[in-house]
Amino acid sequence: MDNKVLVTGGAGFLGAHLCEALLKKGRHVICLDNFLTGSKCNIKHLIGFSNFTILEHDIVEPLQLEVNQIYNLACPASPVHYQTDPIKTLKTNVIGTMNMLELCRENHAEILQASTSEVYGNPLINPQVETYHGNVNCIGIRSCYDEGKRAAETLLFDYYRQHKIQIKVMRIFNTYGPKMNVNDGRVVSNFIVQALKGNDITIYGDGLQTRSFCYVDDLIKGMMALMDSSPHITGPINIGNPGEFTIKELAEIILDMTGSKSKIVYKPLPVDDPIQRRPDISKAKIELGWEPSIDLQTGLEKTIEYFKQII
């Protein structure tokens, strides 16, 4: 059983990159996915590895398996996907996370929970630091994800206190890169696809709301650094790029980089869409020795090239 790692949501955008990175480290990887939003195309190049296993399963259902570590990434992460079936999203975050924690108990394993910057809601402070408790609407259309992830964090710390489970909680800020779903509705993929197709670039609101964008390779390094850190480092810990850009700036950068003639059009801002989003990563720097190294221009070049190949 030594070195056996379970990655739930392993065929998703982040999960597929994580599986690849773990295999390069010589780990035995079990990629678990129900393929609701994950894609077999993301992991098909890994099938030849002798220490790579694909398991089609939904974490809402209990699971019996021998593992040493669990990276719990299973959950639709874009509003388009998690709002399609909000009750299922909430079940995945709560029941699914509890099932993974029970699996940890049975195996005396450790677990890393992929939480999110969405736990901060529409923040009243900027940048967001881990001690900030957030400003979340518990009955809004985003609540299935926001509150689901908050409940998942609660479960991890209760299992940590009550059952001495070894836990790690990371709060992921906007991440982009190859393997993103063309239709996931996230701002980077939306803008790139629209620009490459010559369609209008759709900005919701006035475009002055801000986001910070972390390239996927940096994010995965941060995730693995947290899992491999000292047992007393439980998190929560922000992992993201503190560079802050308005949505309008992002659209203009992508238009320039693609040479697109697309026009920017404005539509109403969705309910509870955050106005500011920027991580304070001081904790990650101090406790993990981690900070991102790939700037937005470099990351977008790689991401645009990926979308050119698949469109």
Distance of CA 285 to the CA centre of its chain: 19
The string of pLDDT tens digits covering residues 97-107 is 999 999 999 99
User: Catalytic residue at 145?
Assistant: yes
Contacts of 176 (CB under 8 A, 6+ apart): 186, 188, 189, 213, 214, 215, 216, 299, 300, 303
Question: What is the mean pLDDT of the segment spanning 235-253?
Answer: 98
Residue 171: beta bridge partners? 115, 238
The string of pLDDT tens digits covering residues 256-284 is 999 999 999 999 988 888 999 999 999 99
Please check the confidence at residue 1 and state whether its pLDDT lies above 80.
no
- Give the C-alpha separation, 39 to 35, whole Å: 6
Select which of 145, 159, 176, 215 is catalytic: 145
The string of pLDDT tens digits covering residues 44-88 is 999 989 999 999 999 999 999 999 999 999 999 888 888 999 999
Please check the confidence at residue 2 and state whether its pLDDT lies above 70.
no
> In the structure, what pLDDT confidence band is assigned to residue 197 with cuts at 50, 70 and 90?
very high
| pTM, 2 dp | 0.96
User: Which domains are assigned to the chain?
Assistant: 4-176+214-241+279-293 (3.40.50.720)
